[in-house]
C-alpha cells in the first residue's frame, strides 16, 4: 500500500473541537512550566552543583534523542487519543509521587532526576501524537497560524513561569507548588477525555497477495524510507538540523557575550533573555495573524537567513552598542518562531497522515541529538576563535547554508512535488 496523499475532510466547525483540545494542552503546559522551574530551583538551592544541573538537562534531553524515533512509530500504530490520555495520566501519577515525597521530607536528588526523565519521556510520546493529529483537525491553510499560536504560548510561559514560580515557592511549601501541576494535569486529562482525536488511515503491508497489518519494524523502516526517499523533505530536515547546530551554541554563549563583549552584568543578561522571549511572542503573534508566504518553505528560508544575520550583527556591533545587540536577540527570537511555525505546518500538510508521527519523531530526534554535541563544542571553539568571531562566523555559515537551500529546486518545490511512490511493506 502506498502512502496516501494529505487529503483530509475537515468539518466546517473544526475550531470547536481543536481549541477544546488546545485548551487542555495549554493547561498541561502551564503546570509543567511551573513544576520544571520549581524542581530546577530546588536542585540549585539544595546541591549548588553545576554537575547536577547538567545531569538534569540531560535527563530532559535523552528521551527526545533515544525514544523519539521509536515513540513516533508506536504512536502511528496506536490510538492517538489513548496515547495522549495514558502519558498524561502517567505524568500526573509521577508528579503526585513527587508531591508525596516532598511532603514527607524524604526526597532525594536522584528521585527528582528520575521524575524529570519520566516527564520528558511522556512528552516524547504525547508531542508527536498531537503534532500528527493536528492536520487531521485543522484546515491546511490554518496550520501555520495554529503553529504560531503554539509558539506564542511557549514564549508567554517562558516570560511568566519563572517569576510566578518564584513567587509561589516563596509563599508556599514546594510540595504545594508541585501539586498545582497535578491539578492542572487532571483538568487536562478531563479535557482529553471529552475530545475525539481522529485517527489516520493505516497502510497494511502486502504479504502473499493478502493485506495485513505490518509489523512494528516494518513501520519504523517505512518512516525512515519515506523521509530519505523524498529529496525535498530530507533537504529541509538537513537545513533545520544545520540551523539548530549553529544556533544552540550561540544562544548558550549569550551570557559570555554580554560580559566579555558588551561589558554587562546580570541586569543586561536579564534584558537579553527577556528580548529572546519577547521575540518568540512577537513572532508567534505575527505568523498567527499573517500566516506567512503562500510558499511556506520560502517563509522558513528567509526567516532562517535573518536569524543567521542577527548573529552576525551581534558579533560585529561595537561593544558600546548593547541596545543594538538587544534588538538582534529580539529579532532572533522573532525569526525563530516565524520560521518554525511554517515549517511545522509544511510537515503536517505534506507528510502522509499515517506516517506523520514516526517521520516527525525521526526529525525531532535528529534535531535534538545535535544539541549535546554542539554545546560541548561551543566552549572550546569560542575560546579559540573569540566571542565576536564565533558569532560572526557561525551566523555567516548559517546564511550561506540557507542561501544554498534557496537554489535547490527539490526544496523550493516541496509543497507542489508529491512524494515519490514507494511501497510501505514487502511486495
Say whether 228-412 and 14-197 share the same fold: yes
pLDDT for res 211: 41
Question: 4 pLDDT band (50/70/90 cuts)?
Answer: very low
Reply yes or no on whether the pLDDT at 172 is more than 70.
yes
| Predicted pLDDT of residue 50 | 59
Average pLDDT estimate for 38-62? 77
Tell me the domain boundaries of the chain.
14-197, 228-412
Sign of the CA dihedral 317, 320, 322, 323? negative
pLDDT of residue 54: 66
Per-residue pLDDT, 306: 93
pLDDT for residue 210: 40
Q: How many residues does the chain have?
A: 427
Measure the CA angle with vertex 314, ends 308 and 318; round to 5°.
Answer: 150
- Domain 14-197: what homologous superfamily? MFS general substrate transporter like domains (1.20.1250.20)
Answer whether 18's CB lies under 8 Å from 149's CB: no
- pLDDT confidence tier of residue 301, bands split at 50, 70 and 90: very high
Please tell me the predicted confidence (pLDDT) of residue 331: 93
Flag whether pLDDT at 192 surpasses 50: yes
pLDDT at 194 over 80: yes
pLDDT given for residue 269 in this prediction: 76
C-alpha cell belonging to residue 362: 525521526
Show the DSSP H helices in 253-321 as ranges: 254-256, 266-290, 296-316
Fold of the 228-412 domain? Growth Hormone; Chain: A; (1.20.1250)
The yes-or-no verdict on residue 305 having pLDDT over 60 is yes
Amino acid 320: pLDDT: 86
What's the pLDDT band for 107 if we cut at 50, 70, 90? confident
Kindly give the interhelix angle for 174-194 and 80-104, rounded to the nearest 10 degrees. Answer: 160
203 pLDDT above the threshold of 50: no
For residue 426, pLDDT beyond 80: no
How much is the pLDDT for 52? Answer: 78
Instruction: Compute the mean pLDDT over every residue in the chain, rounded to the nearest whole number.
Output: 81
* CB neighbour list of residue 282: distance below 8 Å, 6 or more residues apart: 330, 333, 334, 337
pLDDT of residue 328: 93
d(CA 136, CA 143): 10
Please tell me the predicted confidence (pLDDT) of residue 150: 85
Question: pLDDT tens digits, residue range 6-29?
Answer: 455 777 788 888 898 888 888 888
Q: What percent of the chain has pLDDT over 70?
A: 90
Band of residue 310 on the pLDDT scale cut at 50, 70, 90: very high
421 or 301: which leads in pLDDT: 301
**Averaged pLDDT, 273-287:** 86
Give me the residues paired with residue 309 across strands.
Answer: none
pLDDT for 207 equals: 40
pLDDT at 174 over 80: yes
Is the pLDDT at 89 greater than 70? The verdict is yes
Tell me which range, 76-80, 143-147, 341-345, 402-406, is most confidently predicted by mean pLDDT: 402-406
Average pLDDT over residues 389-408: 89
Instruction: Output 32 or 308, whichever has higher pLDDT.
Output: 308
What does the pLDDT read at residue 202?
58
What pLDDT sits at residue 414?
82
CA 20 to chain centre: 21
For residue 45 the three cell numbers come to 538551592
| pLDDT score for 353 | 78
Amino acid at each position: 500500500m502506498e502512502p496516501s496523499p494529505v487529503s483530509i475532510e475537515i468539518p466546517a466547525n473544526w475550531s470547536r473541537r481543536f481549541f477544546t483540545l488546545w485548551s487542555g494542552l495549554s493547561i498541561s503546559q502551564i503546570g509543567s512550566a511551573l513544576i520544571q522551574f520549581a524542581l530546577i530551583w530546588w536542585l540549585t538551592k539544595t546541591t549548588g552543583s553545576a554537575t547536577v544541573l547538567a545531569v538534569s538537562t540531560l535527563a530532559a534531553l535523552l528521551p527526545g534523542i533515544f525514544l523519539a524515533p521509536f515513540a513516533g512509530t508506536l504512536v502511528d500504530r496506536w490510538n492517538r487519543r489513548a496515547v495522549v490520555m495514558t502519558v498524561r495520566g502517567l505524568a500526573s501519577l509521577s508528579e503526585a509521587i513527587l508531591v508525596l515525597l516532598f511532603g514527607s521530607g524524604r526526597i532525594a536528588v536522584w528521585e527528582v532526576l528520575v521524575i524529570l526523565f519520566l516527564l520528558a519521556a511522556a512528552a516524547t510520546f504525547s508531542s508527536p501524537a498531537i503534532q500528527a493529529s493536528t492536520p487531521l483537525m485543522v484546515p491546511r491553510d490554518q496550520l501555520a497560524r495554529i503553529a504560531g499560536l503554539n509558539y506564542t504560548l511557549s514564549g508567554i510561559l517562558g516570560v511568566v513561569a519563572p517569576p510566578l514560580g518564584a513567587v509561589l515557592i516563596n509563599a508556599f511549601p514546594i510540595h504545594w507548588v508541585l501539586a498545582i501541576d497535578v491539578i492542572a494535569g487532571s483538568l487536562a486529562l478531563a479535557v482529553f477525555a471529552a475530545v475525539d482525536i481522529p485517527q489516520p488511515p493505516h497502510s497494511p503491508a502486502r504479504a502473499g497477495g493478502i493485506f495485513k497489518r505490518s509489523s512494528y519494524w516494518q513501520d519504523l523502516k517505512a518512516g525512515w524510507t519515506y523521509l530519505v526517499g523524498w529529496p525535498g523533505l530530507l533537504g529541509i530536515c538537513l537545513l533545520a538540523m544545520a540551523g539548530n547546530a549553529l544556533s544552540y551554541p550561540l544562544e548558550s554563549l549569550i551570557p559570555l557575550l554580554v560580559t566579555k563583549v558588551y561589558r554587562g552584568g546580570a541586569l543586561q543578561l536579564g534584558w537579553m533573555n527577556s528580548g529572546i522571549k519577547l521575540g518568540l511572542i512577537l513572532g508567534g503573534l505575527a505568523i498567527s495573524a499573517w500566516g506567512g508566504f503562500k510558499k511556506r518553505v520560502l517563509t522558513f528560508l528567509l526567516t532562517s537567513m535573518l536569524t543567521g544575520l542577527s548573529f552576525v550583527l551581534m558579533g560585529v556591533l561595537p561593544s558600546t552598542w548593547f541596545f543594538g545587540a538587544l534588538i538582534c536577540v529580539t529579532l532572533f527570537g522573532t525569526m525563530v518562531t516565524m520560521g518554525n511555525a511554517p515549517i511545522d505546518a509544511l510537515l503536517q500538510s505534506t507528510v502522509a497522515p499515517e506516517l506523520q508521527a514516526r517521520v516527525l519523531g525521526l526529525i525531532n530526534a535528529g534535531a535534538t541529538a545535535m544539541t549535546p554535541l554542539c554545546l560541548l563544542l561551543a566552549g572550546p571553539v569560542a575560546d579559540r576563535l573569540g566571542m565576536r568571531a564565533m558569532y560572526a562566523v557561525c551566523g555567516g555559515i548559517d546564511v550561506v547554508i540557507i542561501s544554498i537551500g534557496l537554489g535547490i529546486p527539490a526544496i523550493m518545490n516541496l509543497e507542489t512535488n508529491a512524494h515519490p511512490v514507494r511501497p510501505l511493506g514487502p511486495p
